[in-house]
Amino acid sequence: MARDLSTSNRIGAEDIRRRKGGVPIVCLTAYTYPVARMLDPHVDLLLVGDSVAMVLHGHATTLGASLEMMIAHGQAVMRGSTKACVVVDMPAGSYEASAADAVASARRIVNETGCQAVKLEGGVDMAAQITAIVAEGIPVMGHIGLQPQSVEKDGGYKIKGRTRENVEALFRDAEAVEKAGAFSVVIEGTVEAVASDLTLHISIPTIGIGASADCDGQILVIDDMIGMTVDRVPKFVKEYANLRDTISDAAARYATEVRSRAFPGRDHVFSATSGKDKT
């Protein structure tokens, strides 16, 4: 059994595991210190997702994420979080080749960020890697269904669970991840009824994204959820705010005031008498 890397006041991997079948687990991605601080009181789990490569760095896919990138963002999120279980994605190329590579990468992520767990994509094909990492005392979150790191191999983002063969493969993947010792598993881009059946079939919590409300928890990319996504918004996303328009409007008003010399005004400049300044 993997050791729980949580502190006394922080939700750990074992706490998440025990939530199976209980109150749904609230998860969001986070990549920065201020966002982590804002989200931490409201969520059970913060995922430093490799989606950061697309969301913050402008890559076309998650394949642009590197180990160094994930560690840097993981450190920032840990500085901003005191309560949530923080999980850091293992980027493509850092774990697939061998169990030894997977262990080395996972150990580096945990040692350099202090996070509570790592996440990797794959089922049957990555069971050995999950087993090896867990054996080293590092909790692992699995990820099956649509796997963004396999987008080139799959020929695009394709919904899973629409054929009998694929459904059977999903069940094998879920079973393999569970048997390997993962404390939970993300199910992404999977037919609703199949994701629901998978949740009932395995004993570890399932975290849905584009899956089913019957999953043991849900996760969204924070930028999608708050309306910051500047390209296509996925079908499974519900926007709880629209910061695109808010930010665009603020920038437009700022530009107008700068060009008209209305900004900076009297309240935003310093006087010769220091006692009158408010900092």
Closest to 47 measured CA to CA, from 96, 92, 3, 113: 113
Half-sphere exposure of 183 (CA within 13 A, CB side): 27
Which has the closest alpha carbon to 138: 77, 183, 203? 183
Token pair listed for 148: 């963004």
Q: 227 near 243, Cβ under 8 Å? A: yes
Catalytic residue among 188, 192, 239, 257: 188
How far apart CA 255 and CA 265 sit, in angstroms, is 14
178 is catalytic: no
156: left (phi over 0), alpha (psi -120 to 50) or beta: left
Distance, in Å, from the CA atom of 190 to the CA atom of 212, rounded to the nearest integer, reads 8
DSSP lists the bridge partners of residue 89 as: 119
Contact 51, 30 (CB under 8 A): no
Cβ atoms 50, 148 nearer than 8 A: yes
Residues marked as catalytic: 188
